[in-house]
Structure 1
Amino acid sequence: MEFYSLFLVALALSLDAFGVSLCIGLNKSIGRKNKIQFMSSFGFFQFFFAISGAYIGFLFNKYVAFVPKVVGGALVLAIGVLMLRDGLKNKNECLFVKPGMVTIVGISVSIDAFIIGFTVLNDMESSVNLLYSTLFIGAVTFLMSLFAFLISKYLRKIHIVSKYADYIGGIILIVFGIEMIFF
């Protein structure tokens, strides 16, 4: 996978975490320690699900049936549509942070990374490229979450901002899915 495509995938996957981080950051009662825990959780689970999905996708393609790029593109396109649909939902309140929520929220924003790993990353030339690619996805997610927490203190009065992250991520995944299907 080219760096440009990998960057777009990483960016699209990280926008869920960005939106959630922005929402969490808008809450004045969330401390620095909680923010670091959320950023680490988001980055780790994006990496973990991407590499797990790629490995399972490789095994599936090798031992069960080859999943053509058209099917993978359709799945990525569907994820993008689901992200857009989630953006249309009315998000009136921020996440309620209690013990254990860091893991639950980290997993919930990273499920799409598993599907991307399963459909897109499973045909990497080497395991080193796969490791670098998935670490890159995790790092981009960590940095996007950090960015969201940094700007959230300036955006606390605007409650609709976190909603746009789902739209942007959905559109990028839809375009990437169309590219996979037709090109």
Structure 2
Amino acid sequence: MDFYSLLLIAIALSLDAFGVALCIGLNRGVRIKGRVLFSACSGFFQFLFAFIGAYAGVLFNTYIASVPKVIGGALISIVGILMLKEGFQNKGECPVIRPGTYFILGISVSIDAMVIGFTVLNNINNNLIILRNTLFIGVVTLIISSLAFVIAKYLKKIELLGKYADYIGGVILVIFGIKMMFF
């Protein structure tokens, strides 16, 4: 996988965390500790789930059957459609933050990374490359969610972007899935 495709996937996966981070950042009751904890959790779980998915995909391809690019592209498109659906269901509402929910939020914005790892990152038989790619996804998520807190601090009107982050991420994944299936 080339760098630009990996970067596009990492950005698309991190947009869920970006939207939640904007909502958290716009909440005046959340302290810096909570912001750092959310960014760390979202980055870590994006890495962990992408790694688990990629390793499971390698095992599946090796011992059961190879997942063709068409099936992988279709699954990525389905994840994108599910992100779009989630955006319609949330209607741009921000989650209520209580102590201890940062882990749950980090997990919830990262579950789609497991599917991406299983379908896209599984065709590499080198564990070091899988680790590098999944760490890259986690670091991009950490940076983008931290950036959301900086943006929310200075630009309170950016809430509109957080409202549509699920849509943007969903469209990017659908386009990437179509590209994977046909090109």
* Same fold per superposition (TM over 0.5): yes
Contact 2:16–2:169 (CA under 8 A) maintained in structure 1 = yes
State yes or no: 1:132 paired with 2:162.
no
User: Any runs of at least 4 consecutive aligned residues in structure 1 with deviations exceeding 6 A, and if so which?
Assistant: none
Contact 1:26–1:155 (CA under 8 A) maintained in structure 2 = no
In structure 1, the partner of 2:143 is 143
Quote the offset at 1:134 in angstroms: 0.5
Contact 2:121–2:130 (CA under 8 A) maintained in structure 1 = yes
In structure 2, the partner of 1:33 is 33
Matched to 1:130, the amino acid is I
Segments of structure 1 that go 5 or more residues without pairing to the other structure are none
Quote the offset at 1:99 in angstroms: 2.7
Quote the offset at 1:87 in angstroms: 2.0
- Larger mean Cα displacement after TM superposition, 66-75 or 155-164: 155-164
Matched to 1:136, the amino acid is F
The structure carrying a bigger helix percent of its residues is 2
Contact 1:72–1:120 (CA under 8 A) maintained in structure 2 = yes
Q: Provide the TM-score with structure 2 as the length reference.
A: 0.95
How far apart are the structure 1 equivalents of 2:68 and 2:60?
A: 12
Segments of structure 2 that go 5 or more residues without pairing to the other structure are none
Matched to 2:64, the amino acid is V
Quote the offset at 1:154 in angstroms: 3.0
How far apart are the structure 2 equivalents of 1:86 and 1:155?
A: 25
In structure 1, the partner of 2:14 is 14
- Larger mean Cα displacement after TM superposition, 25-34 or 84-93: 84-93
How far apart are the structure 2 equivalents of 1:22 and 1:162?
A: 6
1:98-140 Cα shifts (integer Å, max 9, x gaps): 2321111111000000000000001124211111110100000
1:129-179 Cα shifts (integer Å, max 9, x gaps): 111110100000000001100011233345433122111111110110001
- Larger mean Cα displacement after TM superposition, 159-168 or 37-46: 159-168
Identity %: 59
What is the root-mean-square deviation in Å for CA atoms of aligned residues?
1.4
Q: Matched residue pairs, number?
A: 183
**Pairs within 5 Å for 1:100-111:** 100-111=100-111
How far apart are the structure 1 equivalents of 2:65 and 2:38?
A: 37
- Larger mean Cα displacement after TM superposition, 80-89 or 149-158: 149-158
Quote the offset at 1:91 in angstroms: 3.4
1:80-104 Cα shifts (integer Å, max 9, x gaps): 1111222223436422222321111
**Pairs within 5 Å for 1:11-90:** 11-90=11-90
In structure 2, the partner of 1:119 is 119
Matched to 1:16, the amino acid is D
How far apart are the structure 2 equivalents of 1:55 and 1:45?
A: 15
How far apart are the structure 1 equivalents of 2:170 and 2:82?
A: 7
Q: Provide the TM-score with structure 1 as the length reference.
A: 0.95
How far apart are the structure 2 equivalents of 1:131 and 1:161?
A: 31
In structure 1, the partner of 2:177 is 177
